[in-house]
């Protein structure tokens, strides 16, 4: 009973929490939101503790040793001290930042890096534990204090005194002021954690290459882009909801679809170049072979770039983007330093497998279905003033701001659905990763993909013995040993 009496300290009625809410939804939604927040926190905190325990293991995992030893044996490197070939020597000479000796077995190098990888993972999970505690404390405190009604009232008061905007006649403008205020507060509270992660953890383990000036510049650019792109998007979204009538969710769904396509188009060609430099891959054997692979798979590759990821981090990656007949591939410069050309091709074979198998399109379709379902459910709850009164928006003579209705819906009624769907999408992503690995195997690239994945994991100090429950819940990619074993089994079936 005492729990059901919980309500925000600040409400719109008098600023002192005197509003009343006697409906079933009004009575339960506020305490239920706090309970759900705490349950999720405790579960994810428990998973982090399990992962923390796995990072304290000092013995190299036997299954990984057996698997990587098998890869070494297949490539003829185990116990071999043979002189490297000319191509291999040339490949090694290109390495500037990688620490892998490409002419020695992988297993001894993994074993050498095991302690360092465990230390890196332990630092990250300890940081996650602290940030989770703070994040949950902040979320619950904001709810109990009435952060949202307070910020809305202050935004409305400031907008009216400064620009003459009222919350009845200029609701969207006031909503943008409100979002600006909450974004600034969120940026300030989150900044210490970003700084510690980047300049303490990542730098301690040799990954961060970012200067303080670059960090600040990136942050300013991000905030400006959020205002320039996010502001008009939110304004149009709110306008469509207000204009669309009973079936506004259909118009919102269409709008978010076209906006998604628009963002997928401009982000790689306009926004990302604001943060990184993209140069065409130099002519040579690798470039020729990548285009040959793309042509073989009928992938309409038009441009091939190298991105200067090393100016921020020594982590490596590769990705593809583009629509229709205008596809592009981007390789991090760090990736070129860490693996052989054959392994880069195998990694791209895996990435092209996602495209060929329709994973990219299916992920986009699922996202659009998710948005449609979310906004349909929101339309069923949009007029429920009991929900808003429970969180302090209890001024009977004042309209419920559309932006507040959206935020509270996604924070409360939709939050459990979102958690379940996010987990299911994580499982789906892992299934797709195995599928793309099988596709690369079908191209005859299995062994090179295996060695490439080991090298990337080695260079990035990836988790070598993750907790099973933690990895199942969090990892969008299967653990390294699971992927390697699956490909080795495929290789055995062909023998």
d(CA 274, CA 3) in angstroms, rounded, equals 49
Residue 308 — φ and ψ, nearest 5°?
-80, 60
Spatial distance between the Cα atoms of 48 and 61, rounded to a whole number of angstroms? 20
Distance CA 321, CA 213 (A): 29
* 351 part of the active site: yes
Catalytic residue (choose from 153, 167, 341, 437): 437
Q: In what order do the strands lie in the sheet with 278-280?
A: 278-280, 301-307, 326-332, 318-323
Residues 149/392, Cβ–Cβ less than 8 Å: yes
Query: CA-based Rg of the chain, rounded to a whole angstrom?
Result: 26
Q: Is residue 50 a contact partner of residue 469, using CB atoms and an 8 Å limit?
A: yes
493's enclosing H/E stretch is helix 480-494
Q: Is 437 a catalytic residue?
A: yes
Residue 318 region by backbone torsions, left for phi larger than 0, else alpha for psi between -120 and 50, else beta: beta
Question: Regarding beta strands 301-307 and 326-332, do their DSSP bridges make them parallel or antiparallel, or are they unpaired?
Answer: parallel
* Of 479, 484, 475, 477, the residue nearest 107 (C-alpha): 484
β-strand partners of 208:
313
10: left (phi over 0), alpha (psi -120 to 50) or beta: beta
Catalytic residues: 351, 437
């Amino acid at each position: 009973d005492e729990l059901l009496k919980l309500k925000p300290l600040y409400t719109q009625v008098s600023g002192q929490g005197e509003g009343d809410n006697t409906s079933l939804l009004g009575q339960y939604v506020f305490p239920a939101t706090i309970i759900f927040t705490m349950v999720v926190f405790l579960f994810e905190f428990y998973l982090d503790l399990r992962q923390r325990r796995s990072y304290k293991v000092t013995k190299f995992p036997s299954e990984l040793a057996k698997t990587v030893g098998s890869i070494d044996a297949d490539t003829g490197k185990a116990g071999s001290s043979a002189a490297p070939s000319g191509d291999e020597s040339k490949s090694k000479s290109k390495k500037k930042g990688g620490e892998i000796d490409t002419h020695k077995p992988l297993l001894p190098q993994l074993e050498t890096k095991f302690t360092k990888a465990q230390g890196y993972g332990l630092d990250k999970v300890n940081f996650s534990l602290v940030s989770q505690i703070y994040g949950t404390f902040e979320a619950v405190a904001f709810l109990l204090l009435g952060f949202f009604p307070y910020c809305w009232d202050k935004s409305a008061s400031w907008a009216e005194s400064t620009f003459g905007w009222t919350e009845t006649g200029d609701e969207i403008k006031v909503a943008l002021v409100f979002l600006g205020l909450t974004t600034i507060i969120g940026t300030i509270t989150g900044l210490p954690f970003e700084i510690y992660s980047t300049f303490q953890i990542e730098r301690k383990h040799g990954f961060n290459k970012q200067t303080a000036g670059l960090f600040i510049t990136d942050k300013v650019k991000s905030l400006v882009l959020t205002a320039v792109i996010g502001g008009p998007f939110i304004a149009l979204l709110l306008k469509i909801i207000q204009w669309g009538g009973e079936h506004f969710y259909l118009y919102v769904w269409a709008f978010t679809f076209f906006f998604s396509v628009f963002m997928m188009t401009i982000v790689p060609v306009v926004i990302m170049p604001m943060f990184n430099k993209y140069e065409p891959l130099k002519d040579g054997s690798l470039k020729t072979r990548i285009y040959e692979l793309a042509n073989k798979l009928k992938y309409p590759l038009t441009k091939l770039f190298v991105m200067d990821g090393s100016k921020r981090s020594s982590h490596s990656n590769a990705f593809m983007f583009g629509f229709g007949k205008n596809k592009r591939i981007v390789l991090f410069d760090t990736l070129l330093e860490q693996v052989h050309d054959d392994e880069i091709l195998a990694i791209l074979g895996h990435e092209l497998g996602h495209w060929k198998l329709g994973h990219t399109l299916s992920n986009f379709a699922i996202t659009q279905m998710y948005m449609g379902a979310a906004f349909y459910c929101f339309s069923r709850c949009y007029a429920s003033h009991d929900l808003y009164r429970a969180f302090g928006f209890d001024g009977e003579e004042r309209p419920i701001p559309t932006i507040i209705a959206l935020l509270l819906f996604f924070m409360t009624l939709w939050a459990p659905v979102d958690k379940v769907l996010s987990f299911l999408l994580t499982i789906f992503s892992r299934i797709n990763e195995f599928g793309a690995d099988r596709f690369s195997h079908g191209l005859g690239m299995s062994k090179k993909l295996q060695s490439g994945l080991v090298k990337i994991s080695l260079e990035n100090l990836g988790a070598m013995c993750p907790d099973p429950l933690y990895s199942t819940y969090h990892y969008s990619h299967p653990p390294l040993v699971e992927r390697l074993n699956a490909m080795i089994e495929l290789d055995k079936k062909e023998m």
